[in-house]
Amino acid sequence: MTYPPPPGTPGGPPKAAGLGRTAKLLIVVAALATLLCCCGGLAGGGFWLYRTVQDATAGPRDALTGYLADVRAGNYPAAYDRLCELLRNRTTEEEFTRERAAEPPRGADRITNTTVRTSNGRSRAEVHVVSDNGPAEVFQLVHEGDQWRVCS
């Protein structure tokens, strides 16, 4: 009876082909580099998206914050100047001042949501506000010229 020669000897069965230690190390390093690039790309893309949304909504938020601060301080002429052209054409500064002065004083306001839409070249924003001593309100703003103006 004849026995086959042991593995690794001439004439024996071929040794299973495997990866060497260097090849395994290179695969692990390449996988880690790919993972880091993907995670970095996602994080960078997420940050870019966050900043884009923040930049797009900053104008309406800032305009409304200024308007509400003027109303709270009783600076009605400055608040009136922040109104859109449509509202300024509908009411005089004296009427606006009389109406605002008759309202209960505003508490601290907190903006909870801002949405900006552009259609046919006209930008509009909807800003949701919660006040310490009043109901939640939704303000409409329009972009006129180079400024956001309160239009509701």
**pTM, two decimal places:** 0.65
More confident residue, 37 or 16: 37
Identify the pLDDT of residue 49. Answer: 44
Domains, the chain, in order of start with CATH, read 60-150 (3.10.450.100)
Q: What integer pLDDT is reported at residue 18 of this predicted model?
A: 65
Q: What is the pLDDT of residue 42?
A: 67
Chain mean pLDDT for the chain: 83
Q: What is the pLDDT of residues 133-145, one digit of tens each?
A: 878 999 999 999 9
Query: pLDDT band for position 106 (50/70/90)?
Result: confident
Q: What pLDDT is attached to residue 11?
A: 56
Q: From 108, 144, 101, select the one nearest 125 (Cα to Cα).
A: 144
pLDDT digits (tens, 9 = 90+) for 34-77: 777 776 666 555 544 444 444 568 999 999 999 999 999 999 99
pLDDT band per the 50, 70, 90 thresholds, residue 146:
very high
pLDDT of residue 129: 96
| Residue 81 predicted with pLDDT over 90 | yes
- Token readout for 100 is 């605002």
DSSP characters over 4-25: PPPTTSTTSPPPPP---HHHHH
Each residue's pLDDT tens digit, 83-97:
999 999 999 999 999
